[in-house]
A and B are shown apart, each in its own frame.
Chain A
Amino acid sequence: MALNRLLCLAALIASAPFSAAVAQDKIVVTSSGGVWLESAKANFAACFKERTGKEAEILLSASNEIMQKLRASPGKPPLDVVVLSETDAIRAGQEGLLEKITVEKVPNIKDVPEVFRKQWNDFATIQNFGAMIVMVNGEKVPNPPKDWKTLIDEVAAGKYGKRVSFPSLTMPWGPMFTWFLTTLYDGNEDMVFQKYKAMLPNIAKYWVSPVEALNMFAAKEIDILVYWDGRAYAFAEENKWAKAYIPEPGAFQSAAMLAKPKGAPDLAWQYVDCVLSPKAQLGHAQMVKYPIVNSTVDYPPALKAQLTPLERVRQPDFQLIIQKVPGWLDRWNREIR
């Protein structure tokens, strides 16, 4: 009898979270960590609270993790607003896991140029973008090459020793970087893989984790690092020996995609609208040092100088990349070792 009572008590305790979830007094949204999380709290969640009086609980989640959660519960998502990678956002839209963003639901979307939404068929929008640029140790490499092709050839020739790190194709944005390199070599994939192979003896590591990459550079294990612009500029600002620049002819656009999963409450649209609002967008750009997408925002001059302009980035063809990735990955694993 006592055991039965214990069992009932356990059942009651176990059911408590479900009871709480029924009352929609908050929404669950995702963010990256560090300064991104701080910005999501200070800009997006604060705007949402001001508008609705409700809380936005922010979870740190990687794009692939979010995708597994959405796939596991289609129509009843455990997340109300998500930030996905570009390719995952396309996949999620195609799999029917996301709801289309419209002006009726998200008024601020009218100020987001179509280029930031078109490839995703309005199932997601870019909230901010960046680019992969080059960081150098200015003391060791005072005159770095001005363009990507020269950089690649000089690395392959061993000019900088084994003190260089490029992104691996196996990291989530690696295929986009590979796509960008194909655009430099007239779409010739074989040439790109030849270049990757030629550089290999002089690459300390094709990096797979952004934290690992920055640690190698900060510890002066490497002198040249291909890395994201916002973090690169922030690092260079704090460390005078480090420089960051965009080689010619620019860089590829890397973005954080904002979306509302199908089945999430309508309240979540308010959060999406907040993220795209001019005030929150500017606040976000100031904190994370990445360009944002609301065209009505005017950056202060000091901030503008730190951001990669839209005309310097090329937006990858994500549909093409999704088709190419399995083959590229297989080729990378076999050849680049």
Chain B
Amino acid sequence: MRRSTVALLLAPAILFLLFGFLAPIAVGLGESLRAGLGLYGKVFGDSYYLEVIASTLALSAVVTLISLAIGYPYALILARARGWRKAALLLLLVAPLLVNVVVRSFGWMVVFGRSGLINAVLAAAGLPTLDMLNSWTAIVIALVHVLMPFMVLSIAATLESLDPALEEAAATLGARPLRAFVHVVVPLSLHGAVTGSILVFALCMGSFVTVMMMGGNSTMVLPLLIYQQLTVAGDQAFAAALGMVLLATVVAVFWLQGRLVRGLRP
């Protein structure tokens, strides 16, 4: 392909990234630095904001790990399914993405509520009811529900591309199925798991509607704090500073993750 053609084909994507991603970051950075580094000092010098950053990271880590733990077996079965079974598994997986986040949250409220589905079943069984709504537990369940497809699809795509002959070769050399899976399939699917984890983690770090709707009086994350600063306080500069901190935190986590994965590779 000629160089000019390559440039022309790449141009729309590059322009889109420049104007849709880098320009807003530059504007946000400029806004946050209008009064010097004071706003960053406010964030990093105050235990409350550090606690919110820690809560945001912890929530994203927990959601990512649960999505990985539940999603990997699903991805394995999906990758090896054929015909209508595969289609059914796919539809079941992506169904949460077809529903608006607000409607989905209201659905969870019906399930978690004091007189909701879970408590109705518990009460019918003579068991004590649970106060799940407006808690971190409710937030984690709702986020895993909607973010798990990103994990599963990433892992399944990698698993589908694996040559079945590799497992057959391991079996021929005397490896039992579990050993072949642990030593052959898992390492080779690591790339998909990392991609899925990055997607789930990044999406979770930016989630605030689910946190706002499903959380309680004590649940706070960085995106929600940013939303408050914009909608209630009208403090664009502080919202921009918090946005930059959120971005830097995500980039730092990805960098650490990259180093960790490089260390794990055989």
8 further A-B pairs in the complex, CB-CB below 8 A; given A3-B5, A212-B106: A3-B8, A67-B234, A212-B109, A212-B213, A221-B115, A334-B48, A336-B217, A337-B220
B109 near A215 with CB under 8 A, answer yes
Task: Name 18 interchain pairs, CB-CB below 8 A, sorted by A.
Answer: A3-B5, A64-B230, A67-B234, A168-B217, A172-B231, A200-B217, A203-B217, A205-B134, A205-B216, A209-B213, A211-B102, A212-B213, A221-B114, A322-B234, A326-B235, A329-B233, A333-B48, A333-B228
User: Inside 8 A of A91's CB, which chain B residues have their CB?
Assistant: 234
With contacts A3-B5, A206-B217 taken as known, whether A219 is within 8 angstroms of B110 at the C-beta atoms is yes
CA distance A204 to B234 in the complex (A): 27
Q: Give bound CA distance, A333 to B229, whole Å.
A: 11
Tell me the nearest residue of chain B to A175, going by C-beta: B232
Known contacts A64-B231, A175-B232, A326-B235: does B106 contact A215 (CB below 8 Å)?
A: yes
Q: Given known contacts A203-B217, A215-B106, A333-B225, is B234 in contact with A88 (CB within 8 Å)?
A: yes
Q: Mark A181-217, 1 if CB is under 8 A from B, else 0.
A: 0000000000000000000100111101101100110
Q: How far is the CB of A10 from chain B (nearest CB, A)?
A: 9
> What 0/1 readout, one digit per residue, does chain A (126-142) give for beta carbons within 8 Å of chain B?
00000000000000000
Taking CB atoms and an 8 Å cut-off, the chain B residues in 235-251 that contact chain A are 235, 238
Residues in B78-118 with C-beta less than 8 Å from chain A: 102, 106, 109-110, 113-115
Q: Which 7 residue pairs across A and B have the least CB separation, nearest first? A: A337-B218, A64-B231, A326-B233, A205-B134, A329-B233, A170-B228, A325-B233
C-alpha gap A88/B220 in the complex (Å): 24
Whether B212 is near chain A, meaning CB under 8 Å from some CB there, is: yes
B interface list, Cβ under 8 A from A = 5, 8, 48, 102, 106, 109-110, 113-115, 133-134, 212-213, 216-218, 220, 225, 228-235, 238
Contacting residues, chain B, for A216 (C-beta < 8 A): 109
Chain B residues near A215: list those with CB within 8 A. Answer: 106, 109
Q: Which residues of A contact B8 (CB under 8 A)?
A: 3, 7
Interface size class of A (residues with CB under 8 A): 35 or more
Measured in the bound complex, the distance between the Cα atoms of B233 and A169 in whole Å is 10
Is there contact, CB below 8 Å, between A219 and B115? yes
Min Cβ gap A158→B in Å is 15
Residues in B with CB closer than 8 Å to A110 are none
Contact of B113 among A171, A211, A221, A334 (CB under 8 A): A221
Is residue A220 within 8 Å, beta carbon to beta carbon, of the partner chain?
Answer: yes
**Contacts A3-B5, A219-B115, A333-B225 known; A172 to B232 CB distance under 8 Å?**
yes
B219 to chain A minimum Cβ distance, whole angstroms, is 8
Contact with B along A165-181 (1 / 0, CB 8 A): 00011111011000000
Q: Which residues of A from 321 to 337 have beta carbons under 8 Å from B? A: 322, 325-326, 329, 333-334, 336-337
Q: Are A325 and B234 in contact (CB under 8 A)?
A: yes
Q: How far is the CA of A67 from the CA of B217 in the complex (A)?
A: 27
A64→B114 CA distance, assembly (Å): 33
Interface residues of A in 88-115 (CB under 8 A from B): 88, 91
Chain B contacts of A204 at CB under 8 A? 134
Q: List, in ascending order, chain B residues with CB within 8 A of A171's CB.
A: 232
| CB contact under 8 A between A329 and B232, given known A203-B217, A206-B217 | yes
CA A169 – CA B218 in complex, angstroms? 13
Partner of B232, one of A174, A211, A212: A174
Pair B220/A333 contact, Cβ less than 8 Å:
yes
Q: Which residues of chain A are near B229, meaning CB under 8 Å?
A: 329
Judge whether A87 is part of the interface by a CB distance below 8 angstroms. yes
Q: Distance (Å) between the CB of B80 and the closest chain A CB?
A: 42
Among residues of B, the one whose C-beta sits closest to the C-beta of A72 is B27
User: What's the nearest-Cβ distance from chain A to residue B32, in Å?
Assistant: 16
Please give, as numbers and ranges, the residues of chain A lying within 8 Å of B213 by CB-CB distance.
Answer: 209, 212
Using Cβ atoms and an 8 Å threshold, which residues of chain A touch B228?
Answer: 170, 329, 333
Find the residue from B8, B113, B231 having the highest chain A CB count within 10 A. B231
A208 touches B212 (CB 8 A): yes
Q: How far is the CB of B114 from chain A (nearest CB, A)?
A: 5
Minimal Cβ-Cβ distance residue in A for B212: A208
In the complex, what's the smallest C-beta–C-beta distance from A9 to chain B, in angstroms? Answer: 14
Nearest-CB residue, chain B, relative to A3:
B8
Identify which of residues 212-245 in chain A touch chain B, using a CB-to-CB cut-off of 8 Å.
Answer: 212, 215-216, 219-221
Complex Cα gap A87–B235 (Å): 13
B219 and chain A: residue at smallest CB distance: A337
Chain B nearest CB, measured from A326 CB (Å): 5
CB distance from A332 to the nearest CB of B (A): 9
Q: Which residue of A lies closest to B49 (CB)?
A: A333
Q: In the complex, what's the smallest C-beta–C-beta distance from B234 to chain A, in angstroms?
A: 6
Q: Which residues of B contact A203 (CB under 8 A)?
A: 217
Indicate the member of B110, B113, B217 with the most A CB atoms within 10 Å: B217
Nearest chain B residue, comparing its CB with the CB of A336: B217
Residues of A within 8 A of B216 (CB): 205
